[in-house]
Every structure is written in C-alpha cells, then in structure tokens.
Amino acid sequence: MSDIDGLLALIPVGDIARKLGIPEDVAHGAVAQVIPTLLGGMAANAKDGDGAASLEKALTGHAGVFPTASVSDINTNDGEKIVNNVFGSQKDDVVAAVASTGDSNITQDIIAKILPIVAPIVIAWLASQFLGKKEAAPAAPTPEPAKSGGIGDLLGGLLGGSGGQDILGSVLGGLLGGGRR
C-alpha cells in the first residue's frame, strides 16, 4: 500500500458523500484525484526556498491536528485557505483540469467542494509525516529554507511511483510549473 493509499484510507469518504449528496464511489474517485493534486501543488510550491519555508510553517501550525473523525470536525475555512495558498490564482484552472481527468460524474463543482474538506486532512497528515521525521531536532520558531532532505524531497517521494503521478502530469503540468505564481 502506498503512502497516498494510506492517506486515502484515513479520509471519511462516506461522510463526504453524504454531506455533498453524491454516491460514495463518486466521492471516493474525487478524493483519490484531489489528494495527489494537493500534494503535487505543495511540491511545486516547495521547489523554491520561500515556498518551502511557507509550507513548513503551515505544517508546524497543523502538527498534531488530525481532523478525520467526521466531515463536521473539519475546518473548511482553513481548507479554503490551504487550497488558495497551494494553487493561488490558478485554483479554478486546477479544479477544471482535475475534473476533466476522471469519471464524468466527478464535476468541477464536486472537486471544488471536496478540496477544502480534504486539504486540512492532507496537510495534517503531511505534518505528521514531515515533522515526525524531525522529532530529534528542537522546534524552531522559523523554518529553515528548503535543503536537500526537506519538504520537497518528502513530497517528491510520496508522489514518485504512485498512481497519482498520471493525474499530476496531466493536471498540473504547465499550470503550476515551479510554483503557483
């Protein structure tokens, strides 16, 4: 099982389906498309030092927070902020591209509604993965700029060889380049 599959298993897909009034298989398919897209957007942003530092700061702020009990426990306002930080002005283009790569029942509207639900879960999970590897180091108030072995490497490792790589190539290729700007 890949790390992305493990993350997918933590997301309350049935709860999301009920909240959005969509079939569970459609919700599962949309979530499966959204996870690698979010991780890919974060990886694109982490390619430069400022983006990596910003992401590490966000991870520190989400450490120990794992809102997977139910959708009602998830702060979708925070999720919207995460999505906007990851994709910036290209958010609508990313939503359209993700919706066009999968099942025709997965519409732009569904992707747009699922992104802010899934984003806090993804960032909290990523915080546990990234910060868990740095437990021996004391917490610094300001993250260091990206270096080899940093958040970019973790994201690259998560995305490498996963089924999400196909989605990333078609969705994010050209849209995000080395970042959201």
Residue range 86-144, pLDDT digits in tens: 999 999 999 999 998 877 899 999 999 999 999 999 888 888 877 765 433 333 333 34
Answer whether residue 79 shows pLDDT above 60: yes
For 146-179, the pLDDT digits (tens) are 344 455 555 555 555 444 444 444 445 544 444 4
Domain ranges of the chain: 3-171
The rounded distance, in Å, linking the Cα atoms of 172 and 181 is 13
pLDDT recorded at residue 104 = 84
> Residue 159 contacts by C-beta under 8 Å, 6 or more apart in sequence?
4, 36, 39, 40, 43, 165, 168
Residue with tokens 């709860």: 15
pLDDT recorded at residue 34 = 93
First to last CA, the chain: 34
- Residue 68: pLDDT band with limits 50, 70, 90: low
Q: How many CB atoms lie within 10 A of CB 156?
A: 14
**pTM of the entire structure?**
0.75
Answer whether residue 47 shows pLDDT above 80: yes
The rounded distance, in Å, linking the Cα atoms of 32 and 174 is 21
DSSP 174: T
Whether the CB-CB separation of 11 and 114 falls below 8 Å is answered with no
pLDDT recorded at residue 54 = 84
- Residue 37: pLDDT band with limits 50, 70, 90: very high
Residue with tokens 């992104």: 115
Q: What would the two tokens of residue 18 be?
A: 């009920």
The type of residue at 61 is G
Furthest C-alpha separation in the chain = 48
Residue with tokens 């740095």: 134
pLDDT recorded at residue 159 = 53
Q: What would the two tokens of residue 55 be?
A: 């992401």
pLDDT recorded at residue 161 = 44
Q: What would the two tokens of residue 158 be?
A: 């998560």
- Residue 24: pLDDT band with limits 50, 70, 90: very high
Least confident range of 61-65, 69-73, 139-143: 139-143
Kindly compute the dihedral angle of the four CA atoms of residues 82, 80, 141, 124, in this order, to the nearest 10 degrees: -70
Whether the CB-CB separation of 4 and 36 falls below 8 Å is answered with yes
pLDDT recorded at residue 138 = 36
